[in-house]
Structure formats: structure tokens, C-alpha cells
Amino acid sequence: MDIELLHLIVILGIFLIGAAYFKIPIGVAMMLSAFGGIFIYSAISAPDQFLQIPRHLVDGSFAYIEPMLTIVAAMIFMRFFADSGALESFTVLAVEKLYRVPTVLLIIFMIIIMFPAMITGSSVTSIVSAGALVAPTLLALGIPKTKTAGIVVCGSIFGMIAPPINLPVMIIADTVDMPYTGFTLPLLILTVPLAIFCVLFLGRRYVGKIDIEDVKKKIPMAIKDEVNTFVYIPILVLIVLLVIVNVFPTWLPPIGLPLVFLIPALIQAFLGRKFNIVTSARNGVRTALPVMAVLVGIGMFIQAMTLTGVRGYIVYNILALGQVTWGQHPILLYLGSLTLIPAVGAFSPLGSASVFGGPYVLVLLFLNEIVVAAALSMFTGVGDFIPPSVVALHSTHIVELDGYGKILKTLIVPIAVTIVVTLAYMILMGMYW
Amino acid sequence: MKKMMNGIKKGFSKFIDGIKTRWQNADFSPKAFKTSVLKHKLSLFYLFLSLAVTLVTGIQYHRFRHTDPVFVTGPGVVDIQRLSDYYEPLEGTYGDADIYVLGTQNPDEPSILVLGGVHPNEPASQVAAVVLMENLIVEHGTVYIILETNRSAFSLSHPQEATPEWYSIETPFGERRFKYGSRGTNPVDQWPVPEVYIHQSGQTLSGVDTRNLNRAFPGTENGTYTELVAHAIAEFVRQKDIIITLDLHEASPEYAVNNALIYHEKVRATGLASRTYLNLELFWGIWDDRFAPIKLEISPRNLRGLTHRELGDYTNTLPFLAETSNASQGRIRGAMSESLIVDGYDKFYERATALGILEVDHSEAVPLDERVARHIQTFKELINAYNSLQGTWTGDLEYYSRGLFDIEYNDLNFTTVYDRGIGAFLLDPEDS
């Protein structure tokens, strides 16, 4: 038996006992498992690492410093957007204008959710901004909380995979010296049908016949008299900044996503309904805290897996599966792509792309590498459906549910369809593209 | 506007009033303090724990960033310049690296630039450059060597790669320590990082590559910190009219381009790439049990930002990039340790070789001695090829008008480094 298997058992064991038995928060359980894993590794194999434990824990979590700042800034913006009345106003406007064409309405909402992730390459950006913006409208239309959260999760993930910016593909391409060109059409073919299917599957039955009078009773129509169109200026500023920063980067010095959210937040403070800025900002930070804690935990967890050799153990064993073939097809490797890549993707889609992407593309060279990289990026994205991903955990805040279990249940069919379609896409399009 | 300003003033004074009121109403008695501490004891515990970790790791990081490895100036070094001598805005910044000059500095004689440490997580790159700097004597022509090309990236560990901060090489006089850094520039020197990096050619890359020096060439004066460093190097190459540039790297064993020499297409007209390749092939023919076969690759035109592409396009130099296979930077590797860096043995790579997953052979250890020796032999064969083509080459003669390199290697070649170890060729800092 490889010693790495023991380390894997130790790390996962501490995490599961902490999270499931003692019910400690997931982020803290991961920190403890990382600490325990490195401690045991130091005791067994590398005594010189004892003094390095604090550095390793900080080093690991530092990978997420920027996503953490982005999340907290986006939460402050969304809190301001809600407290100024802009969110209620948007809900009223969207329902009034689009209730006659429910299918189109749902598809438009899906595109809105996907948009921030499409241009930033980050599913987190979508769920904390457009997801939080659209969710109240979906709820107002009568879509249950779990399905609403499901739509938002799907939109954020498919937005991350859709062109023009797909960070997992960029990372995979870089590891095999492949330029990021020629991906637009393959990624559109992969993501658009899945996105339309998922939003209609989850929401269409609830918006078949929208009784506008009934809906109006549920939504705060009075907001129309309270705020005017200027209240939307910050969201326009946000869209403009996102586009400039990601599409025309030379127009502005690099200001970073946190500032991209804080600038419209500052403008929002002076528009719409009056609200207490300090209280709103504090509430925004409070909402972001649990997700930030999970990110810190994930960072430490991955560092522990890398240091102890568990990462290599997992990657090697997956690649070894490639030896079992049916014709030229490594069937067990395919199985690995739809299980372990998402499993690691749940901790970090980009980390999963970085670890598995290069080796996978090289083993599957008999398929078109662009199609393979596109499909692998989708498998890393599937990880975002699974806790403790930020997208999964944050979706519960958006619809104010206590746990993710019920949301995950409603997502079983979309996840299964995504996996099957992506696998078929990788094999069939990979052979003939 | 006036209304808005009044609103801001009013809001601000309300905020200050709130703080004042709280301060005035606060109870500072020992009893109240004790009650408060007991009430928040768990929060206080986490707060102190966080502060302690921050303090310990902060001090450790500060020491690491501000401690440089010792490089002993070799007997052949005639001058030490800096990148800022060629691009002033770098002066006083962390990225202002030293350029070691060996030889005559006569512009009418041939010149070569060796780049070590473009990626500080590829140790053979820097160590080979150090060995060359500490041993060569150049009688005719000039050898320029940069040991820490992306100096900023030597000042941090790459998050989630769990690498050691330092690794040691045994020498007859004790250990010489080197830094194991990150692939990218330190965020302390360049932050924030955009989600997407759009290279000046229009190529789109992951935002992480904004800090990757070997995606930033030819650099620009108005760019990021990394692009400024790239610009300084390109400017140095232009001002010195460097004939050959050799950029030393390492690659993870699963990487397709490995044990390779990559060159810009304009090199073809000079015959230099083919002759160097031939020399290394002959070498492999003799030492096939130790010297893995070399791959010769041409720089892809659509992969932008790399030295072998941009220095070829934007300067007069003939650029080459050499890769060796380094298990410590791969994704299949097992536990990370100093031993993996220096001794180069990893059981998962051994098994991956057996499975036929890799294009390079890791059935045995590929130690740092071997990787450094390989880079040194590549440098040597490049110089040999250049010298041997003088007077015989009938193609592009522009690069052959400055005479021969005359370099004394002091017994430095693949077999001596392989057999005796790198340590035998490193100088004692005490004797410096």
C-alpha cells in the first residue's frame, strides 16, 4: 500500500468526522484536516516540515485571496443594490414587461445570469451578481426556491464554460502549449443547448401560464413610485466596467474585480431609497464570511494534499486507468473524467483543470484536442454543482435556504444530462471535428 | 451636486457622532472588561490564533523575500551590470536583476546572453547559469548571464504547490543554498491580476499568465511590472546587439516539449539550430546511457509572449530555449521535498514511465546534476556549432561576421558535471 493512501485517509477522515459528526463548519473542518494531514505527514516522513506547518496553511489559502476580496466586494454591492430598492424595482419591471412570453423570459434570465461569468470566466462573479439579481424575479414568478437556486447555479456554471472567456480551458491550453484560439464555436455548441435545457427543465412548468395579477400581489409594486430609472445606473456601470476590464484591458489600468464591484456600490449609495451604508456593508460582509471561510479551508486542504503526495497519487491512479481500453477508447479514463475531475472541481475548478487538464489532453491525443479541452473544462465546471464549491454554498444564501441538499436533489437531472452530453461531445465531436 | 455633497457631509457627521456616542457610553471598568472577555472568549481565541499565525508567517515571508542566495563572482566575470542600466524605470525595484559580464565586451566580437531563472520553480535553469558564471573564462567574445531573470518570482512560494523555500547542493566545502520560487511575479510587485491576460499581440491567456515573464515578451514600457522586466531584457538585447540568446528552462515530465531545444524560424538560415542538434545527437550517441535524446522544435508562430518567439521577432538575436525534465514541478509527483528537487526520483513518475504515459524516461531518478549538466552541454554545443560554422556556412552570413567565441570551460561539460556533481563546480563563498 502506498503511504499516500494513508495520508488521503487521514485528511479525508478528519474532514468527514469534523463536518459530519461534530457538525463544525465546513471551512473549519477543512482547515483542521489540512493541519492534521500535514502534522501526520511530518511525523511519519518529514520532521523538517513541522516548523513549516503555518507557512503551508497560509500559502494554500493565499491562492484565494482575490476571489475572497471579489466575493466580499460583490456582496456589498448586491446589498446596496437591494437596500436602495433597485432589486425590487428590477423584479417588478422584468415581470411586467416579459410575463407574456415565459419561455423567452426564462432564456433571457439564463443569459443574464451567464453574462458576468462569460466575460470574467468566473462562476462566482455570476452567482454573486446576476444570480442574486434575477433570483427574486424567478421566485416572484412562482418558481420554488430550490429550482430558482438550481437555475442560478446552472447559469453561473455554464457562463463560466461559455466563450469568450473560459479559464479552465486557458489553463489546460497553457499546460500543453496550445493557443487559446478556435474554442468559441466548440464551447457554444457545448454550453448553449445545455443552458436552455436546464432553465426550461427547472423553471418552465411553473411559468406556463403567468397570472400577472396574482404575481403582482407577491411583488412590491409600490417600489415604482419610490425609485426612478437612475437607480439602475450602478448596474450599468458594473456591466461597462466588467466589459472594459476583460475585453478592452488597455483602456483602464488593471483595477481588479473587487474594485469593479465597489465603484458601482459607491454610486448606488447615492441613488434610490435611502439606507444606512455602514449597516448594509456590514450585512454584505456577514453574508460573504462563510464562503470566505470555506475558500480558506479549501486552499489549506489542497496544499496539504500536494505536500503529502496525495495529489500525485490521485492523478497517477486516474491516468493509470487509461490503460484499460475498449478499442482505442480508454473507458476507465472517461469514467475518471466524469467522476474525479468534478470531485476535485468541487474544491476548485481551476485547480482541477490545472492538475488533470494537461495529462488528460496528452493521453487523449487521438481525439481533437480543442474539443477535449472544452469538454474537460465542462467536467471541472460540474464540480461547481457539488459542495463545498462557492457556487453551491452561495446559492443557499440567494434563496435563503438552510442547506444545499434540496437544491442538489433538483439538480440531479441537469447534472446527469450535462455529464452524458459532455462525454458524448468529447468522444463523438473529438473524433470527427 | 451640491445636494449630494451635503448628503455626504451629513452622513459622515452622523457616522462620527455614532462613534462618539459609543465611546462616551462605553464602560471601561475591569469588571465590564472581564464580562466582555468571557462573553467573546471563543472569538478572542480565534483572533489571537489568527494574529499569531499572521505574525509567524509574516516574519518568515519577510525573511525569505529579503534574503538572497550567495552567488560567488567567478574569475571570468569582468563586470556586473543591472537591467536598469538598459531600462531606467526598473532602478530601485525588486525586479532589477544583475547581469554578469564575462569576456571582452567588444561589440565587434560575438556575444551570447544566458537567461537563468525566468521561472524560479525550474531549478536547473538557475543552477546551470550559476555554474557557467562561476567557471567560464571568456577570451574572445562576451557571455552575459542573468541568474534571476524574474527576480520578483524568487521571493515567494507558489500557492498550493507546497514547495520548500530553499534547497541545498552538497559541495566539498559544505552546502550551497538556492531559492525555489514561483512561476510568476510576486503579487506584492504586481497586483491586481485581471481574470484574462491579453498579450500585446492580442493573444488571450488566463489571468495567471499576466505574471508569467515567459508570456510577457517583448514587453512594453506602459505595461505591467512583468512586461517592464521583459521590455528591459529586450532592450538589453537590442542595445548590446546580442547574437545568440539561450533561455534555460525545465518542464514537468508529462509536458510534450521536453529535453528539447526550441528555436525561432530565422535561426534556420544560419544553420545554427541544426548543427547544435547534430552535436547533441552525436553526444547522445556516445553517452546514450546518461544523455536522453534531444528534440529540436521550431517556435510556434501563434504562441506569443515567449522568448523564442518575441526576441526573434522584435530583436536581432537568434533565440533558443532549452528544456530539461523536472519531476518536482509535475502534477503526477508524490510528496514534495528538497530531495525530489535535487535527487529527482519520484515513484509515481517511475510508474508513469512504465505505463508509457510519458515521452521522457523517468524509470530512474533524473537528478539536478544531470539536468544542469545537460543545460551546460547545450550551451557548449551551441558555442561549438557557432564556431564550427564560421567560414563554412554559405547561408545567412550576417551573424558570422564577428569572429569566434574563445571560451575556457575549466573541465566543465556534461560528463564531468554528471560524474562529479554540481557541487564540484560551485565556488566557496569564503574564497570569494
User: To the nearest whole percent, how much of chain A has pLDDT over 90?
Assistant: 50
Q: Single out the residue of A80, A269, A270 nearest to residue B1, CA to CA.
A: A270
Kindly report the nearest CA distance between residue B63 and chain A, in angstroms. Answer: 13
The number of beta carbons lying within 10 Å of the beta carbon of residue A273 is: 14
Q: How far, CA to CA in Å, does A33 sit from each of A58, A297, A300, A393, B57?
A: 14, 9, 9, 20, 20
Q: In this complex, do A258 and B335 lie within 8 Å of one another by their Cβ atoms? A: no
Q: Residue B247's pLDDT is what?
A: 98
Alpha-carbon dihedral sign for residues A219, A220, A222, A224: negative
Per-residue pLDDT tens digits for A3-45? 999 999 999 899 889 988 898 888 899 899 999 999 999 999 9
Domain annotation covers residue A323: no
Q: In this complex, do B300 and A46 lie within 8 Å of one another by their Cβ atoms? A: no
- Closest to B196 (Cβ–Cβ): which among A65, A121, A302? A121
> Which residue, among B119, B160, B167, B338, would best test binding to A if mutated, counting the most A CBs under 10 Å from its CB?
B160
Q: In this complex, do A322 and B333 lie within 8 Å of one another by their Cβ atoms? A: no
CATH T-level fold of B67-431:
Aminopeptidase (3.40.630)
Kindly report the nearest CA distance between residue A317 and chain B, in angstroms. Answer: 9
DSSP per-residue letters across A318-377: HHHGGGS-BTTB-HHHHHHHTTHHHHHHTT-HHHHHHHHHHHHHHHTTTS-HHHHHHHHH
| pTM (two decimals) | 0.89
Q: Residue A250's pLDDT is what?
A: 80
B262 - beta bridge partners?
Answer: B297, B321
**pLDDT winner (highest mean) among A206-210, A251-255, B1-5, B160-164:** B160-164
Kindly report the nearest CA distance between residue A249 and chain B, in angstroms. Answer: 7
With cut-offs at 50, 70 and 90, classify the pLDDT of residue A322: confident
Kindly report the nearest CA distance between residue A298 and chain B, in angstroms. Answer: 10
Q: Residue A224's pLDDT is what?
A: 84
Q: In this complex, do A354 and B193 lie within 8 Å of one another by their Cβ atoms? A: no
Angle at B196 between CA B195 and CA B199, to 5 degrees: 150
Q: In this complex, do A254 and B192 lie within 8 Å of one another by their Cβ atoms? A: yes
User: To the nearest whole percent, how much of chain B has pLDDT over 90?
Assistant: 77
Q: In this complex, do B161 and A302 lie within 8 Å of one another by their Cβ atoms? A: no
- Closest to A4 (Cβ–Cβ): which among B60, B194, B334? B334
Kindly report the nearest CA distance between residue B345 and chain A, in angstroms. Answer: 13
- The answer, yes or no, to whether residue A2 has pLDDT greater than 80, is yes
Per-residue pLDDT tens digits for A43-67? 999 999 999 999 999 999 998 888 8
Grid coordinates in use for A145? 426556491
Q: In this complex, do A306 and B161 lie within 8 Å of one another by their Cβ atoms? A: yes
Per-residue pLDDT tens digits for A259-317? 999 999 999 999 999 999 999 999 889 878 877 888 898 889 889 999 999 999 988 98
Q: In this complex, do B162 and A59 lie within 8 Å of one another by their Cβ atoms? A: yes
Q: Residue B24's pLDDT is what?
A: 84
Between strands B98-103 and B77-82, the pairing is antiparallel
The number of beta carbons lying within 10 Å of the beta carbon of residue A279 is: 11
Average pLDDT over residues A207-232: 84
- Tell me which chain B residues have a C-beta less than 8 angstroms from the C-beta of A180: 203-205
Grid coordinates in use for B236? 538589453
Q: Residue B332's pLDDT is what?
A: 92
CA B198 to centroid of chain Cα atoms: 22
B182 vs B22, more confident: B182
* Dist CA B211 CA B199 (whole Å): 11
User: To the nearest whole percent, how much of chain A has pLDDT over 70?
Assistant: 100
DSSP per-residue letters across A4-40: HHHHHHHHHHHHHIIIIIS---HHHHHHHHHHHHHHH
Q: In this complex, do A176 and B256 lie within 8 Å of one another by their Cβ atoms? A: yes
Chain B: residue nearest A165 by CA? B196
Kindly report the nearest CA distance between residue B142 and chain A, in angstroms. Answer: 33
* 3-state SS record for B103-140: ECCCCCCCEEEEECCCCCCCHHHHHHHHHHHHHCEEEE
With cut-offs at 50, 70 and 90, classify the pLDDT of residue A202: very high
Q: In this complex, do B348 and A316 lie within 8 Å of one another by their Cβ atoms? A: yes
Kindly report the nearest CA distance between residue A297 and chain B, in angstroms. Answer: 12
> Which residue, among B63, B206, B301, B323, would best test binding to A if mutated, counting the most A CBs under 10 Å from its CB?
B206
Per-residue pLDDT tens digits for A350-385? 888 888 888 888 888 889 999 999 999 999 999 999
- DSSP letter, residue B217: T
Q: In this complex, do A170 and B205 lie within 8 Å of one another by their Cβ atoms? A: yes
> Is the omega angle on the peptide bond into residue A164 within 30 degrees of 0, that is, cis?
yes
- Tell me which chain B residues have a C-beta less than 8 angstroms from the C-beta of A319: 332, 352, 355, 357
- DSSP letter, residue A429: I
Alpha-carbon dihedral sign for residues A71, A72, A74, A75: positive
Chain B: residue nearest A301 by CA? B160
Q: Residue B432's pLDDT is what?
A: 67
Is residue B197 within 8 Å of residue B206, measured between CB atoms? Answer: yes
Average pLDDT over residues A72-92: 88
Is residue B186 within 8 Å of residue B172, measured between CB atoms? Answer: no
Kindly report the nearest CA distance between residue A219 and chain B, in angstroms. Answer: 30
Chain A: residue nearest B253 by CA? A359
Q: Single out the residue of B153, B148, B154 nearest to residue B166, CA to CA.
A: B154
Q: How many CA atoms lie within 13 A of A414 on its CB side?
A: 34
Lowest mean pLDDT among A145-154, B187-196, B271-280, B301-310: B187-196
Q: In this complex, do A309 and B333 lie within 8 Å of one another by their Cβ atoms? A: yes
Q: In this complex, do B195 and A165 lie within 8 Å of one another by their Cβ atoms? A: yes
Total count of domains within chain A: 1
Chain B: residue nearest A303 by CA? B160
Per-residue pLDDT tens digits for A398-420? 999 988 999 999 999 999 999 99
* Dist CA A35 CA A47 (whole Å): 14
Is residue A76 within 8 Å of residue A277, measured between CB atoms? Answer: no
User: To the nearest whole percent, how much of chain B has pLDDT over 70?
Assistant: 99
A321: left (phi over 0), alpha (psi -120 to 50) or beta: alpha
Grid coordinates in use for A359? 495529462
Chain A: residue nearest B49 by CA? A54
Q: In this complex, do A306 and B300 lie within 8 Å of one another by their Cβ atoms? A: no
Q: Residue B1's pLDDT is what?
A: 67
A139 CB contacts (<8 Å, ≥6 apart)?
A145, A148, A399
A181 vs A5, more confident: A5
With cut-offs at 50, 70 and 90, classify the pLDDT of residue B381: very high
Q: In this complex, do B205 and A174 lie within 8 Å of one another by their Cβ atoms? A: yes
Average pLDDT over residues B374-402: 91
- The answer, yes or no, to whether residue B321 has pLDDT greater than 70, is yes
Domain annotation covers residue A409: no
> Which residue, among A57, A59, A303, A377, would best test binding to B if mutated, counting the most B CBs under 10 Å from its CB?
A59
With cut-offs at 50, 70 and 90, classify the pLDDT of residue B71: very high
Looking at this protein, which amino acid is placed at residue B119?
Answer: H
Lowest mean pLDDT among A185-189, A319-323, B271-275: A319-323
- The answer, yes or no, to whether residue A248 has pLDDT greater than 90, is no
B319 vs A221, more confident: B319
Q: In this complex, do B192 and A355 lie within 8 Å of one another by their Cβ atoms? A: no
Q: In this complex, do A170 and B332 lie within 8 Å of one another by their Cβ atoms? A: no
Domain annotation covers residue A357: no
Average pLDDT over residues B54-61: 96
Average pLDDT over residues B143-167: 96
Kindly report the nearest CA distance between residue B213 and chain A, in angstroms. Answer: 14
- Closest to B162 (Cβ–Cβ): which among A56, A179, A277? A56
H or E element in which residue B260 lies:
strand B260-263
Q: Residue B193's pLDDT is what?
A: 84
* Dist CA A317 CA A402 (whole Å): 37
Between strands B174-179 and B142-146, the pairing is unpaired
Is residue A332 within 8 Å of residue A321, measured between CB atoms? Answer: yes
Q: How far, CA to CA in Å, does B225 sit from each of A279, B67, B151, B196, B381?
A: 38, 21, 12, 16, 34
Q: In this complex, do A45 and B224 lie within 8 Å of one another by their Cβ atoms? A: no
Domain ranges of chain B: 67-431
Q: Where are the alpha helices (DSSP H) in B214-346?
A: 225-240, 272-286, 307-314, 338-343
* Dist CA A10 CA B418 (whole Å): 40
Q: In this complex, do A299 and B160 lie within 8 Å of one another by their Cβ atoms? A: yes
- Tell me which chain A residues have a C-beta less than 8 angstroms from the C-beta of B194: 245-246, 249, 254, 256
Query: What is the residue-averaged pLDDT of chain B?
Result: 93
Q: Single out the residue of A430, A243, A308 nearest to residue A39, CA to CA.
A: A308
- DSSP letter, residue B301: T
Domain annotation covers residue A228: yes
B315: left (phi over 0), alpha (psi -120 to 50) or beta: beta
Q: In this complex, do B300 and A315 lie within 8 Å of one another by their Cβ atoms? A: no
Domain annotation covers residue A60: no
Give, rounded to a whole angstrom, the gap between the first and last alpha carbons of chain B.
68
- Closest to B196 (Cβ–Cβ): which among A59, A60, A246? A246
Q: Residue A243's pLDDT is what?
A: 87
A431 CB contacts (<8 Å, ≥6 apart)?
A367, A368
Per-residue pLDDT tens digits for B125-146? 999 999 999 999 999 999 999 9
A224 CB contacts (<8 Å, ≥6 apart)?
A89, A92
Q: In this complex, do B203 and A311 lie within 8 Å of one another by their Cβ atoms? A: no
Chain B: residue nearest A48 by CA? B337
- Closest to B335 (Cβ–Cβ): which among A45, A58, A245? A45
Per-residue pLDDT tens digits for B202-248? 888 888 899 999 999 999 998 999 999 999 999 999 999 999 999 99
- The answer, yes or no, to whether residue A209 has pLDDT greater than 80, is no
- Closest to A122 (Cβ–Cβ): which among B195, B252, B302? B195
Chain A: residue nearest B192 by CA? A256
Q: How many CA atoms lie within 13 A of B153 on its CB side?
A: 28
Q: In this complex, do A311 and B331 lie within 8 Å of one another by their Cβ atoms? A: yes
Q: Single out the residue of B391, B245, B386, B395 nearest to residue B307, CA to CA.
A: B245
Pairs of residues, one from chain A and one from chain B, whose beta carbons lie less than 8 Å apart? 167
Q: Residue A213's pLDDT is what?
A: 84
H or E element in which residue B23 lies:
helix B2-25
Domain annotation covers residue A240: yes
B48 - beta bridge partners?
Answer: none
* Dist CA B127 CA B368 (whole Å): 9
Q: Residue A97's pLDDT is what?
A: 84
H or E element in which residue B263 lies:
strand B260-263
- Domain span holding position A97: 65-291
Domain annotation covers residue A403: no
Average pLDDT over residues B306-316: 97
Tell the residue number behind the cell numbers 419561455, with chain if given: A103
Between strands B260-263 and B318-325, the pairing is antiparallel
Average pLDDT over residues B297-302: 94
Q: Residue B15's pLDDT is what?
A: 79
Query: Phi and psi (nearest 5°) for B103?
Result: 120, -160
B197 - beta bridge partners?
Answer: B205
